[in-house]
Amino acid sequence: MDKQSFNEQLAPRLIGQLRQKTEQGKLSWSTGFEDGQFKTLVGGRLAFVVQVKGDIRKFLVLDEHQEIILNEEVSSDETVNAPMLSPKDIIYDAIGSLHTLVRDRALQVNEKLATAEKLLADI
């Protein structure tokens, strides 16, 4: 198995585990350094970064020295002509799904919307 196909299989598994642990409340996420970017640290040794910017979706894994050890970047153009459920298509969808979840958690969207609703009700 070559490195590319290994990464194409590993990235969706890692993203799935991150999604599951986030849904279980076991991971906290914060905003990253760029627009649309969110990050979490695991075990003080690895950082996971997810980013959606325009039609480009990124998933990064960094080690304790901030070295990138996995970098998956997929644009919607790469998935348009790809067969359904191709590795690129799977990664693109997985990153988008994880990004939506972690964005809501990092920005505390549900809590802020509940506050907005309460404030409006109190007027």
Q: pLDDT tens digit string along 65-108? A: 999 999 999 999 888 877 777 888 899 999 999 999 999 988 88
Mean pLDDT, the chain, rounded, equals 89
Structural domain for 112, as ranges: 3-121
Q: Is the pLDDT of residue 2 over 80?
A: no
61 neighbors 14 (Cβ within 8 angstroms): yes
pLDDT band per the 50, 70, 90 thresholds, residue 5: low
Q: How many domains does the chain have?
A: 1
Cα–Cα distance for residue pair 19/94, rounded to 1 Å: 9
CB neighbours (10 Å) of residue 52?
Answer: 19
92 neighbors 76 (Cβ within 8 angstroms): yes
Q: What is the pLDDT of residues 12-22, one digit of tens each?
A: 999 999 999 99
